[in-house]
Chain A
């Protein structure tokens, strides 16, 4: 794994997620721009991999619907955003 740093991985997820959102908005009005669509698809795949990687290393990113949880339910584990010390 390239990312041992939790914050760096979160930041990378934010960056890729923002770029996919931007391309989403562009594609709403330019649905046949294949170049933009190719980049959107690449970034979407990258985003999914990054989120799965985060999930595996540090626990769930979302409270429900994205990934199953080990026992006991891992969502309630800290740190919460206001307890960040990593």
Chain B
């Protein structure tokens, strides 16, 4: 594995391509436009837990519980 190559590549592209090239949400969201917040990888479930839960990412784990979902209700 060549870490040097990775660094060079990063230097070459960092000017226009950062780790997170897209902001979490637009600074000035426009009305009548839909946005998906840009995920950031911070932590992961233990692998056995991830397989059970169906996702590796705690921020994406959101099981459907019918009684909690009412119109206009914020979880």
**Interface size, chain A (Cβ < 8 Å):** 17
Interface size on B, residues (CB 8 A): 19
Contacts of A39 in B (CB 8 A): 44
Please tell me which one of the listed residues B18, B50, B56 contacts residue A32 in the complex, with CB atoms under 8 A apart: B18
| In the complex, per-residue mask of B39-60: 1 if CB is within 8 Å of any chain A CB, else 0 | 1010010011011000111000
* A-B pairs with beta carbons under 8 A, tally: 45
**Does A7 have its Cβ within 8 Å of any Cβ on chain B?**
no
* B41 x A26 contact (CB < 8 A): yes
| B-binding residues in A (CB < 8 A) | 14-16, 18-19, 22-23, 26, 29-30, 32-36, 39, 41
